A = this chain, B = another copy of it.
Amino acid sequence: MQPYAPVPLSKATTLLNHGPVTLVSSAHGGARNVMAASWAMPLDFTPPKVAVVIDSRTLTRKLVEGSGEFVLNIPARGLAEATLAVGSRSGEEGDKFSELGLRTFQGEQVAAPLLEGCVAWLECRVLPEPHNQQRYDLFLAEVIAAWADPRVFANGRWRFEDGALRTMHYVAGGDFFATGESFKVSDAID
A residues contacting B by CB (< 8 A) are: 14, 17-21, 38-44, 49, 51, 53, 80-85, 88-89, 100, 129, 131-132, 136-138, 140, 156-158, 166, 169-172, 174-189
Instruction: Please report the C-alpha to C-alpha distance between residue A170 and residue B17 in the assembled complex, in whole angstroms.
Output: 7
The copy count of this chain in the complex is: 2
Which residues on B sit within 8 Å (CB–CB) of A166? 180
Which residues on B sit within 8 Å (CB–CB) of A18? 19, 38, 169-171, 177
Assess the B157–A187 pair: CB atoms within 8 A: no
Given A17-B171, A18-B19: A182 and B187 within 8 A (CB)? Answer: no
Assess the B182–A177 pair: CB atoms within 8 A: yes
Tell me, rounded to whole Å, the shortest Cβ–Cβ distance linking A21 to chain B: 8
Q: List 25 A-B contacts (CB under 8 A).
A: A17-B38, A18-B177, A19-B19, A19-B20, A19-B21, A19-B38, A39-B41, A39-B42, A43-B53, A44-B53, A44-B136, A51-B51, A80-B183, A81-B185, A81-B187, A81-B189, A84-B185, A84-B186, A157-B175, A166-B180, A174-B187, A176-B183, A177-B180, A178-B183, A179-B180
Which residues on B sit within 8 Å (CB–CB) of A14? 171-172
Residue of B nearest to A44 (CB): B136
Assess the B85–A189 pair: CB atoms within 8 A: yes
